[in-house]
Structure 1
Amino acid sequence: MSRAIGKTGVVTALGAMSGTSLDGVDAAVLRTDGRQITAFGKSGYRAYSPQERAVIAAGLGKWAGPEVQAAAEVVEAAHLELLRGFDRVDLIGFHGQTLAHAPRAQGTLQVGDGAALAQDLGLPVVWDFRSADVQLGGEGAPLAPFFHHACARFAGIGGPVGFLNLGGVGNLTWVDPAIEAPEAEGALLAFDTGPANAPLNDLLQARLGLPFDEGGRIARRGTVETGALELFLAEPYFARIPPKSLDRNDFAEMVALVSELSDADAAATLTAMCAAGVAEAMQHCPRPPDRVLVTGGGRHNPVLMQMLSVSLECPVMPVEEVGLDGDMLEAQAFAYLAVRVARGLPTSCPGTTGVRAAVGGGTVSLPG
């Protein structure tokens, strides 16, 4: 391991994340010792072009083949372009792009070669964060909860709090920040709540050529189809005890449920499905959180945020309310996790992924 990283002390890590919404690559710098957050640094974003998005989308749900290779090349090139703009960094946390996720079957697949990035950037790269967790019986997702725990303590939050990430898939982390170690029993519970932005984005792309419902403008004009919503909530997934996780396309039939509806009604119904999945998820919390902090693209949709406020029995607000950056939280998470991997600290535990025991995933690739 690089002498600059060592075993103790604060280091500068750069995390990169390309999520299931397929919008682009986020990158963010974090100062940490792998336990506590010391400071947040520079961040950046590199959008995928429509052509790049189409190449990645063609690889979704596939485990091998030319579409997977083509997606990997797009992902690596986009990351390299963005990450070259950062300097004074000790190591990089590279998540890659999830194309397929079936932890109880084939496993999990994130494309992008961290070893190649290490050579190109001349820095240690930590990557392949999920495989070890899956191999030990875990869901391999979500992985941000350990970072959410650190964020709650950094923000000085005392009571239980929920971090709700609304990307392509929704996931909830219930945090008790009074417990010092994230892997300790009772500190965390985390799981996917259901689909979030992915079905709505896919519908709008197919029907209107729009990447997402900006400002919730389309959904605001529509009416929720309650029959479709009831069918959605009848899915067995919602009754499953967490931890549990989803693939981006696990609820692909949602779009079929709204296929006969107008654009506005379909958008309103898919947005309501996201909020309803979150409301169902709250029933699994060990005790009600004092508030829910929303991160990810969904927090920019005022229609969705209003639906959440009505559905949940506690205040709902963007993470910016406690001084965090909801656009960069997942990239920062992989910077944090990279330092934990490099120092042999766990990155998941039974309460976050269902893994049999606390485990530190990740592969460390050194340059040269």
Structure 2
Amino acid sequence: MAAIRRAIGLMSGTSMDGIDIALIETDGESQVTRSVSGFTPYETAFRRRIEAALGEAKAIKSRDERPGTLAQIEEEVTRRHGEAVVTFLADNNIQRETIDVIGFHGQTVLHRPAERLTVQLGDGELLARKTGIPVVYDMRANDMMHGGQGAPLVPAYHRALARHVPTERSHGGAVVFVNIGGISNVTIVPLTGDPIAFDTGPGNTLIDQWVEDKAGIAYDAGGAIASEGQIVGSVAARYLAKPFFDLQPPKSLDRNDFTLEDLGELELADGARTLAKVTAEAILKASAFAPETPSLWIICGGGRKNATILKDLSEGAQASGAKVVVAEDLGFNGDSMEAEAWAYLAVRALDGLPLTWPTTTGCDVPVSGGVLVGRH
């Protein structure tokens, strides 16, 4: 029987709003005990620096290049993660020595699967020194070396959580975990076989950019702006006609693959409403790639707090007799799930267990990954 380890997971996603942190105890397989979690926000000025760095990252040709300000931002991202861990341990009265490993995602600034190139800013060795805890980082690269897309990696954890969903909620059918971050992705957990996973399209990223550009607001809290607008069908159809949606999974997106260009000159609320519809419809399109019709959609990530997106999802799923719930309805934590996943993946990496499968990223064979640094 595999050893139970205490692991901390750190996630800074495509929304670039800060650092999610979570503690779990797991064997890296079916045993998962979720514990405390937290969030350390990035202030607006630092978020804007990361956004500027995305432009600089376009010049990267190999994974170790850090042009422009990227080296400086990488050090600062790592330092902030280290401070987040130290504060988290202190706030929760956790002794550093009781933590076996940290799973460190870092900040994605470039993701080009066709070129087998993915770059997450984050210095694992520096984080291990700052925290005094072993760190597993750079978990996407090995998948790409084996022909995979390098994303998504959370499906391994979703599969473990699916085992904790009561049958009366799933009706014994396929369960879909939906993460609505900057980009939305799904994990379809079928009744038999490996999980199926892929990015579905824009999540919050276009809505965030739209309300920031138009109104200087960081995001559409609760979907309130969208709730006052009208769907502009021709614009939604333009987004949903993109070739990406017809691609067979596995497939993944860079944050810049969808832009505001197709939105045109809409009014603020109509733009937000139309983009919310695009996000929901893009997610629901995923059911076409499921081996059986999903019976339950579990919504995670920041986008689950957008009531307009949730309404569109619920109405769309209802057409096939499926239910839509948010993670909390099942006792999960939709804010910390990705951070929990990174803790879970770090433990799997320690044991050489697969982080990805051909059905999740398109890798040639199931592969483990990550680089381990620090005391061990």
How would you bin the TM-score normalised by the shorter chain?
over 0.9
Q: CA RMSD in A?
A: 1.4
Does the CA contact (< 8 Å) of 1:92 and 1:126 recur in 2?
A: yes
**What's the counterpart of residue 228 of structure 2?**
221
Counterpart pick for 1:89 among 99, 104, 112:
99
SS of the residue corresponding to residue 353 of structure 2 reads coil
Shift of 1:125: 0.2
SS of the residue corresponding to residue 163 of structure 2 reads helix
Counterpart pick for 1:167 among 181, 186, 190:
181
Shift of 1:208: 1.4
Within 1, Cα distance between the matches of 2:292 and 2:28? 28
**What's the counterpart of residue 3 of structure 1?**
none
Does the CA contact (< 8 Å) of 1:58 and 1:67 recur in 2?
A: no
1:258 aligns with 2:252: no
Shift of 1:38: 3.4
Counterpart pick for 1:140 among 147, 150, 170:
150
Within 2, Cα distance between the matches of 1:156 and 1:338? 27
Shift of 1:106: 5.2
Q: Which sits farther off after the overlay, 85-94 or 115-124?
A: 85-94
Does the CA contact (< 8 Å) of 1:198 and 1:248 recur in 2?
A: yes
**What's the counterpart of residue 323 of structure 1?**
331
Query: Map of 1:28-39 to 2, 5 A cutoff?
Result: 28-39=22-33
Q: Deviations over 1:309-345 (max 9, x none)?
A: 1122311110111110000000000000000000111
**What's the counterpart of residue 52 of structure 1?**
46
Query: Map of 1:194-209 to 2, 5 A cutoff?
Result: 194-209=201-216
Does the CA contact (< 8 Å) of 1:279 and 1:308 recur in 2?
A: yes
Q: Which sits farther off after the overlay, 151-160 or 119-128?
A: 151-160
SS of the residue corresponding to residue 253 of structure 2 reads coil
SS of the residue corresponding to residue 27 of structure 1 reads strand
Does the CA contact (< 8 Å) of 1:55 and 1:70 recur in 2?
A: no
CA 159–280 in structure 1, closer or farther in 2 if over 3 Å, else same: closer
1:285 aligns with 2:290: yes
Q: Which sits farther off after the overlay, 156-165 or 304-313?
A: 156-165
AA aligned opposite 1:125:
V
**What's the counterpart of residue 365 of structure 1?**
373
Q: Deviations over 1:175-213 (max 9, x none)?
A: 03x55xxxxxx2210000001100110111122121110
Does the CA contact (< 8 Å) of 2:79 and 2:127 recur in 1?
A: no
**What's the counterpart of residue 124 of structure 1?**
134
SS of the residue corresponding to residue 307 of structure 1 reads helix
**What's the counterpart of residue 63 of structure 2?**
none
Shift of 1:73: 2.7
Counterpart pick for 1:347 among 329, 352, 355:
355
Shift of 1:367: 4.0
Counterpart pick for 2:15 among 10, 21, 24:
21
SS of the residue corresponding to residue 212 of structure 1 reads coil
CA 168–79 in structure 1, closer or farther in 2 if over 3 Å, else same: same
TM-score w.r.t. structure 2 length? 0.91
Query: Map of 1:241-320 to 2, 5 A cutoff?
Result: 241-252=248-259, 255-312=260-317, 313=320, 314-320=322-328
Shift of 1:287: 0.8
Within 2, Cα distance between the matches of 1:282 and 1:74? 40
**What's the counterpart of residue 153 of structure 1?**
163
Q: Deviations over 1:272-311 (max 9, x none)?
A: 1111111222111111111100000010011110011112
Shift of 1:221: 0.8
Identity of aligned residues (%): 40
Counterpart pick for 2:80 among 75, 78, 81:
78
Could you list the structure 1 runs, at least 4 aligned residues long, displaced by more than 6 angstroms after superposition: none
TM-score w.r.t. structure 1 length? 0.93
Within 1, Cα distance between the matches of 2:345 and 2:324? 27
Within 2, Cα distance between the matches of 1:284 and 1:72? 37
Within 2, Cα distance between the matches of 1:32 and 1:278? 30
**What's the counterpart of residue 3 of structure 2?**
9
User: What stretches of structure 2 of length at least 5 have no aligned partner?
Assistant: 61-65
